[in-house]
Structure 1
């Protein structure tokens, strides 16, 4: 019997092109499930590092990019029985999310309480990354936290820090991101295209702030970010640095900073809490989605992400149902 085929969005030329192609539908194996995808979420951060060949997560082209999706369970592998039922709505961390069907490990699948939350929950990875980072950094109620960069991870980090009772400062150069952050993410937002964020922060907090998270992955921002941290404060390497990261050693040395290097999306309780917050509306992920696409138009939009116009995008969801 011929394999059932599906539509998928594949990177076919690193840093240049993505195309809609037809691929065989995946099948569940041990400890995995297959979902019929409702939405896949696009991040123009880590995902584009992969699409441009700066990270080798999926091997040679062509490959289906994306790592977060929601949908309904259509197949359950022999090691995943009992964890979910056919028809359950779930959010998954996976490989190759931008396709009509997705296979995921049952350990990285989470049942949703409300199918209406599928679009918002298809962006659950970025807030999970941020929540894991704050857990490692020991963010406390009453802390002053500064998040450098307001891409999706930075926006989610600011939003979660505020939910946890911190006073949150955020900076960026993008007008759209700054406006979204003022609306739903941070207490004080600094337009770094018009003033030096470090000077503004030290004017209000001369001793520096309790915790600084650098979320952009741009090494040139590390020195100012570390200088904004108070003595014996905590610095979080929240961004992903594709090459070597360097900074003036004397700044963290003299301040005796604690350093945190979070990775991945946290343990299961972290992810479940984030998804619960999204479903309850406490994490306003819909406010961070700038573009809602049908899969048939995803190719044209995705190819814009290889150009400077990517800065006009925030969160992107692709509807596959």
Structure 2
């Protein structure tokens, strides 16, 4: 089945919607199963979306299922729950008697809400982004993580010709690196996972530093003795060495929802270098998300090589449970295909 299959006529009324449908459910700490759940009914200001693809946020979802996620990011609570927060699909029903004229049954949409790893979900109309086409939907299902990367770069004010180091090459780090290169920056990535180093060196960065070999600051000194213009810290690792990599009057970006409890560092070096410290979180405004979706759906940014696992819904639990095992580094971008999950 191709990504461009169902037409608007297939969603002409809510009568096409079953009473229950397949969903991925975290049933216990570090364990997921496939189950059938009742299909919810959209209320005032809501839409029912028939999901084609949902994208897995490996870091956030793993920590959530391990119950090690910061409270500020825990949108799911304890098990059982349906994980995920990003998906693409088609509107199957509207909850309003007089719906917003910009949305209609059959529209292709991207959704930023909780519990997206299921065939049907209800979302607020304000969390839905209408797409111009159904091209590259599998890639577009990871749009929230890509939008976050674009927002981080906006906060940093990245411009052509600047040098940027991105600490951590998980999927968010990789996406941020790709976007920074599109802006004309020279991009350096640091990572310890051999699998992610291989992906990033080929598709994301100009130079990859193996942080397992020696401190990135030591490896950086040969090419950038004064440091780089900007460091984006996207990983749960010590920030002490990351701060050493920033040039005088450069910029340090603390990214996303990294756990901050117990972090200590010497204030003297960043103080004397007059480093500008910026905190960045979330996806920015609607325009940022819409622009990111445009780049994904038109292929301006091709994240296909970053997706290591595009799995059918009936294999989703097996792959998802690998997030909690020793070999999880082989899982990079994960997309679940729900199109035949009836």
Q: TM-score if structure 2 supplies the norm length?
A: 0.89
Asked if the contact 1:44/1:310 (under 8 Å) is kept, the reply is no
Q: Is 1:297 the counterpart of 2:315 in the alignment?
A: yes
Asked if the contact 1:33/1:80 (under 8 Å) is kept, the reply is no
Between 150-159 and 189-198, report the one with greater CA deviation: 189-198
Aligned partner (choices 82, 86, 106) of residue 64 of structure 1: 82
Aligned partner (choices 286, 289, 293) of residue 271 of structure 1: 289
| C-alpha displacement of 1:239 | 4.2
2:221 counterpart SS class: helix
Asked if the contact 2:307/2:333 (under 8 Å) is kept, the reply is yes
Match of 1:168 in 2: 187
Match of 2:66 in 1: 52
Correspondences of 1:79-118 after superposition (within 5 Å): 80-118=99-137
2:67 counterpart SS class: coil
Aligned partners of 1:119 and 1:246: how far apart in 2?
40
Match of 2:265 in 1: 247
1:203 counterpart SS class: coil
Match of 2:12 in 1: none
Aligned partners of 2:308 and 2:270: how far apart in 1?
37
**C-alpha RMSD of the superposition:** 1.6
Match of 2:27 in 1: 12
1:308 counterpart SS class: coil
Match of 1:183 in 2: 202
Aligned partner (choices 159, 162, 167) of residue 148 of structure 1: 167
1:261 counterpart SS class: strand
Q: Which runs of 5+ in 2 are unaligned?
A: 1-17
1:125-144 superposed Cα distances (whole Å, 9 cap, x missing partner): 11111111111111111110
Between 276-285 and 32-41, report the one with greater CA deviation: 276-285
Q: TM-score if structure 1 supplies the norm length?
A: 0.94
Between 260-269 and 248-257, report the one with greater CA deviation: 248-257
Between 233-242 and 223-232, report the one with greater CA deviation: 233-242
Correspondences of 1:192-231 after superposition (within 5 Å): 192-218=211-237, 220=238, 222-231=239-248
Match of 2:6 in 1: none
1:258-311 superposed Cα distances (whole Å, 9 cap, x missing partner): 111111111001011111111222222211100011111111111111112111
Aligned partners of 2:269 and 2:306: how far apart in 1?
34
Match of 1:22 in 2: 36
Runs (4+) off by over 3 Å: none
